[in-house]
């Protein structure tokens, strides 16, 4: 295992398999698993152009199983980078490449994620996480390893959580009128 280079993973160009907007991370993870993809996905929020959000999220796969997560905007890798990918829908490109092109990135311990964590903690699909863990090589499955790093990183981002809450409050107030709850709305 090596230290992370400062400028993020260097990945080969790869063969583009799919480019589309998906509503939910589970969709991408399932596709990669079903294809037994060796390659990587680039992810930007579907509304990135509107929000002027820069930088891509990167998720690499070996035989369909996630290996490395990294986000160019935050410079974070590993489970923390998964929390940087939260904002759906995702605009996703799925690319295939040889395993040798991923070897350097896969050698950086700080960027690696446990196999089932993206499906379990980012997508919230435990069945897909279980399928992923079953297909992962034995050397990558440690039943005692903690796997809540992505969830903790999500909760540490106070600013983003306040944004989620503010948006939900505004949505609730807007819908109150539509659904006839105006009498119930509190100031």
Partner 1 sequence: MVEAVAVASGKGGTGKTTTLALGMALAEEHDVTVVDADTGMANLLFHAGLGDADTTLHDVLLGEAPVAAATYDRFGMRVVPCGTSLAAFEAADPERLREAVATLARGTDVLLLDSPATLGSKSAVLPVVLADRTVVVLEPTIPALSDGLKVGEYAAAYGTDVAGVLFNKVRGDADAVVEKTGRYFDGPTLGQVPASEPAREARRAGEPLLAHAPDSSAARAFRSAAGRLDPKPGAAARVADRFRSAVIPDPP
Binding site for partner 1 (CB under 8 A): 82-83, 86, 120-126, 144, 146-148, 150-152, 154-156, 161, 164-165, 168-169, 171-173, 175-176, 179-186
Between 62 and 79, whose beta carbon lies closer to partner 1?
79
CB of 134 to partner 1, least distance (A): 17
- Which pairs with CB-CB distance under 8 Å and at least 24 residues apart come from 44-52? 44/90, 44/91, 45/87, 45/88, 45/89, 45/90, 45/91, 46/21, 46/88, 46/89, 46/90, 46/91, 47/87, 47/89, 48/91
Q: How many other CB atoms are there within 10 angstroms of residue 133's CB atom?
A: 18
Between 34 and 130, whose beta carbon lies closer to partner 1?
130
Between 109 and 170, whose beta carbon lies closer to partner 1?
170
CB of 112 to partner 1, least distance (A): 19
CB of 41 to partner 1, least distance (A): 17
């Amino acid at each position: 295992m090596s230290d992370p280079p400062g400028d993020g993973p260097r990945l080969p160009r790869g063969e583009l398999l799919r480019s589309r907007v998906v509503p939910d991370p589970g969709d991408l993870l399932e596709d990669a698993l079903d294809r037994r993809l060796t390659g990587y996905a680039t992810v930007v929020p579907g509304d990135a152009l509107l929000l002027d959000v820069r930088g891509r999220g990167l998720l690499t796969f070996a035989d369909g199983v996630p290996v490395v997560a990294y986000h160019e905007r935050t410079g974070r890798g590993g489970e923390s980078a998964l929390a940087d990918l939260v904002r759906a829908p995702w605009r996703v490109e799925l690319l295939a490449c040889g395993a040798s092109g991923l070897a350097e990135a896969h050698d950086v311990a700080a960027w690696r994620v446990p196999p089932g964590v993206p499906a379990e903690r980012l997508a919230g699909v435990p069945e897909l996480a279980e399928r992923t863990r079953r297909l992962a090589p034995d050397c990558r499955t440690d039943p005692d390893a903690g796997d809540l790093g992505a969830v903790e990183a999500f909760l540490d981002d106070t600013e983003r959580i306040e944004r989620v809450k503010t948006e939900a409050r505004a949505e609730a107030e807007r819908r109150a009128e539509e659904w006839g709850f105006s009498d119930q709305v509190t100031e």
